[in-house]
Amino acid sequence: MDYFNFKDGNLYAEDVKVEDLAKKYGTPLYIYSKATLERHYRAFEHALNRIPHLVCYSVKSNSNLAVLNLMAKLGAGFDVVSEGELRRVIAAGGDPKKTVFSGVGKTDDELEFALVNGIRCINAESSAEVEAIKRVAKRLGLKAPVALRINPDVDARTLPAISTGLKNNKFGIATDEAYELYLEMNKDPNLNVQGIDCHIGSQMTSSVPILEAADVIIPFYEKLLKAGIKIGHIDLGGGLGVTYDNELPPSPDDFFDGICERFKKLDCELYIEPGRAMVANAGILAAKVIYKKRNGEKRFLVTDGAMNDLIRPALYNAHMTIVNAKVRPQDEENCCDVVGPICESDDFLGKDRILAAEQGDILAVRGAGAYGSSMSSNYNSRRLSCELLVDGDKVSVIRRRQKFEEMWELENIPE
C-alpha cells in the first residue's frame, strides 16, 4: 500500500501532481511519500506488538537524513553497516543506543567509533572480528556489547546476489563454530554477550525461510542458556520482500506471526532490520523521456534517468514497474525498452514494456525508494539527483541536485 495514485489520469505523490514536481525540480527526481513511510513503520510495529521488540531500520536501503530523522521520530532503532551510516544516524538525530552494527569487514576505527558512541550491539561475523572487538574494547577500557551473526544455512529463495544465509557465502558464522566462540566470549572481560544475530537475505516473498532460520536460532539460544549464557535479544535481520511486479509478499503481520508465537515462549527480545519493505514502495524515480527511437524492430524510450541513478535493473536484472505519469492509451505497438543515456548496453530501467509515451513525458519507476538513491553514483559524470519528501500537499527538498563542480571538488591536477 502506498500513496502514489492516479487521479483523473495523472499520477500523484500524496496530494501533489508528479508532473508538476518534475517541472519544478527537474529530472531525474526521487520522490518519497511521508505517509507511506509512516504507514510501513507502523505496520512493522503492529506485527510485533505481542512481544518485546526493536525495529532497527536498515540504513543502507535509503540513508537520506530526512528519512532517518522520520524513522527516529517514529521510534525506530537502526541497523548500520559502516561508520558512515552510523554518522548519518547520529546526524539525523537517531540514537546509537538503539543502533546495531552489522557487516563482514568492520575496521578497528569503525569499531572504536561505534563503541565510543554507545552502540547498542555489534553483530560480529567472524572469530577474527571478535578478536578485533576485544582489542579495541580493551584499549578503550570498556565492555563491548556483542552478538554473533549466525549463518543458519537456509535458503532465502531469492535472487542469488541478495541471498546471504547459505553456508558457502561470506556472511556469518556456522552454528558449531559460533557455539565455541560464545563460550569464549562469555568469559572475556571486555565483551558483553548480548544477542544472536542473523540475516538470511532480501526480497523474501514467503515467511518459510525466516521460520526455518528461527528454528535454527531458537534451539541455539536454548543450548547457550543450558551452558549458562543468557541472551537478551535475537535479531532476525531484514528481508521481507515487496511487490515490484507480480510478487505477493506477506504483510508484516503475516510474515512475523509464526515468529511472534515462538518468541512468546522465550524470555528474549526480538530485533528486526527491515529496509526494503519499509521504503521501496514509499519512493518513485521520475525521469523524462528525452527521445523515442527505433533500431530495427526494437523501440526505445531514452530517458534522463539512468543506471547511475537506479542500478537495480542493470545490476540484478531486477524488474521495476514503470508508468507514464500521464495516462495514455496503450497497445502492443508501444512495446519498448526504457533506457538511459549511459554508455553501457546494460543501462536500462525496463525491458519489453507496453508503455505509450511521447517526448517530454514524465515516467515514474515505482518501488524505487529502497536501494535506489542509496546505490546511485556519478558514473558518466552525471550529478546525484534531487530528492523530495512529500507530506500531503507539502513538498520538502531533502537533497538538492548536486552541482557539476561538486563532482570534481575532491580531485586535483598535480603541478
Active site residues: 343
Neighbours of 215 (CB within 10 A): 14
Alpha helices by DSSP H, listed for 27-64, are 34-47
Per CB under 6 A, the segment of 274-282, 340-348, 355-363, 384-392 that binds ligand PLP is: 274-282
Shortest distance in whole angstroms from residue 406 CB to ligand PLP: 28
Candidate residues 63, 82, 102, 281; the one interacting with ligand PLP per rule CB under 6 A: 102
Per CB under 6 A, the segment of 124-132, 210-218, 267-275, 381-389 that binds ligand PLP is: 267-275
d(Cα 262, Cα 256) in Å, to the nearest integer? 10
Largest Cα separation within the chain, whole Å, is 71
By the rule CB under 6 A, 106 interacts with ligand PLP? no
Shortest distance in whole angstroms from residue 296 CB to ligand PLP: 39
DSSP assignment of 364-376 equals EETT-TTTTGGG-
Looking at the DSSP assignment, which residues form a beta bridge with residue 324? 363
Candidate residues 94, 145, 165, 238; the one interacting with ligand PLP per rule CB under 6 A: 238
Candidate residues 64, 175, 202, 205; the one interacting with ligand PLP per rule CB under 6 A: 202
By the rule CB under 6 A, 275 interacts with ligand PLP? yes
Contacts of 356 by beta carbon, 8 Å cutoff, 6+ apart: 324, 328, 329, 330, 331, 334
Angle at CA of residue 266, ends 262 and 268, nearest 5°: 115
Nearest CB to ligand PLP, comparing residues 64 and 190: 64
Per CB under 6 A, the segment of 222-230, 231-239, 330-338, 357-365 that binds ligand PLP is: 231-239
For 223, the grid coordinates are: 543450548
DSSP assignment of 305-335 equals --TTT--HHHHH-----EEESB-----GGGE
Shortest distance in whole angstroms from residue 370 CB to ligand PLP: 6
By the rule CB under 6 A, 276 interacts with ligand PLP? yes
82 three-state secondary structure: coil
Give me the helix-helix angle, 208-226 and 252-264, nearest 10°. Answer: 20
Binders of ligand PLP in range 42-61 (CB under 6 A): 58, 60-61
By the rule CB under 6 A, 64 interacts with ligand PLP? no
Per CB under 6 A, the segment of 41-49, 234-242, 345-353, 383-391 that binds ligand PLP is: 234-242
Shortest distance in whole angstroms from residue 199 CB to ligand PLP: 4
Shortest distance in whole angstroms from residue 162 CB to ligand PLP: 7
Candidate residues 88, 106, 120, 199; the one interacting with ligand PLP per rule CB under 6 A: 199
Nearest CB to ligand PLP, comparing residues 101 and 348: 101
End-to-end CA distance of the chain: 57
By the rule CB under 6 A, 195 interacts with ligand PLP? no
Where does 98-186 show beta strands of DSSP type E?
99-101, 121-124, 144-149
Binders of ligand PLP in range 118-147 (CB under 6 A): none
Shortest distance in whole angstroms from residue 172 CB to ligand PLP: 9
Nearest CB to ligand PLP, comparing residues 55 and 240: 240
DSSP assignment of 228-274 equals T----EEE----B---SSS--PPPHHHHHHHHHHHHHTSS-EEEE--
Contacts with ligand PLP, residue ranges (CB under 6 A): 58, 60-61, 79, 81, 102, 199, 202, 237-240, 273-277
